Structure 1
Amino acid sequence: MRVFEGANLLLMFLLELCVLGAAAWWGFTVPAPIAARIVLGLAAPAVFIVVWALFGAAKDPRFPQTGWRRVALEVVWFGAASVLLGLAWTPVAGLVMFALWFGNGVLRLAWGQQKL
């Protein structure tokens, strides 16, 4: 069982990286002048990084969130990235990403890896 729990935490980390990749991909592929795409491609993941560092980091966030606030943070954070991935690539990819996060969250709660 510990192997599955470790794999679930690894999936959470990979999903966090996917959020940053989705934000960058969206920014670099927006139908806009090249300067705007460069700014968006760098700024979008930076915004996600700042939000996660302040509120959602696993170790020592500045403003730790628990309970329904943590759930809301993750829904908004992963949901926004799923929308950006859907816009940059295909809506199915965005839905798959959100579904993976949802399943990961359910398992984190069930296995005691995340507290509400």
Structure 2
Amino acid sequence: MRIAKPGPVSARRWTPLTVANAALALALEAALLAALFFWGLDTGPNTLTGIALGIVSAALAAAIWGAFLAAGGPKFPLPVGPEIALKLGLFAVGAVALADAGRGTLGVILGGLAVVSVAVEYTAGGAPG
């Protein structure tokens, strides 16, 4: 099994598997932000504080993703190992946030699908060739 950095979207080799996985990855990224917002809303002591906490937590995750993991080419590229670890770490935060908000099953689904998607992304041959 070869682990390779997929590279920017415009330089990738696209196959039906990598296209399907890219769609899954986009849905998972949106689910991560939604999970963090939901966690903030559920955790806040009142609605206004919950909304603020949800927005800030989702914005922080989006900023980290944009800086280090953006599919179009991150501003601060990482080596493949730390990139995978950061990506899985962010999804783990989203899964734990869902569990903390009383949605453990959704957290397990988010985490499990994220592991599968990341494995496919880095091993399915979508790297520029």
1:67 matches 2:76: no
Higher fraction of helix: 1
Normalised TM-score (structure 1): 0.88
Which secondary structure state, in structure 2, belongs to the residue aligned with residue 112 of structure 1? coil
Structure 1, unpaired ranges of 5+:
none
Unpaired runs of 5+ in structure 2?
A: 1-13
Between 1:38-47 and 1:103-112, the stretch displaced more is 103-112
1:50 to 58, 63, 81: 63
For residue 76 of structure 2, give the secondary structure of its aligned residue in structure 1.
coil
2:98 is matched by which residue type in structure 1? L
RMSD: 1.9
Provide the residue aligned with 2:26 in structure 1.
13
In structure 2, do the counterparts of structure 1 residues 28 and 114 end up closer, same or farther at CA, with 3 Å as the change threshold?
farther
- RCO higher in 1 or 2 (8 Å CA, sep ≥ 6)? 2
Which of 25, 37, 41 is 1:24 aligned to?
37
Percent of matched pairs sharing the same residue? 25
Instruction: Give the structure 2 partner of residue 111 of structure 1.
Output: 124
2:95 aligns with: 82
1:9-42 CA distance string (max 9 Å, x none) = 1001110000100011111111512332121021
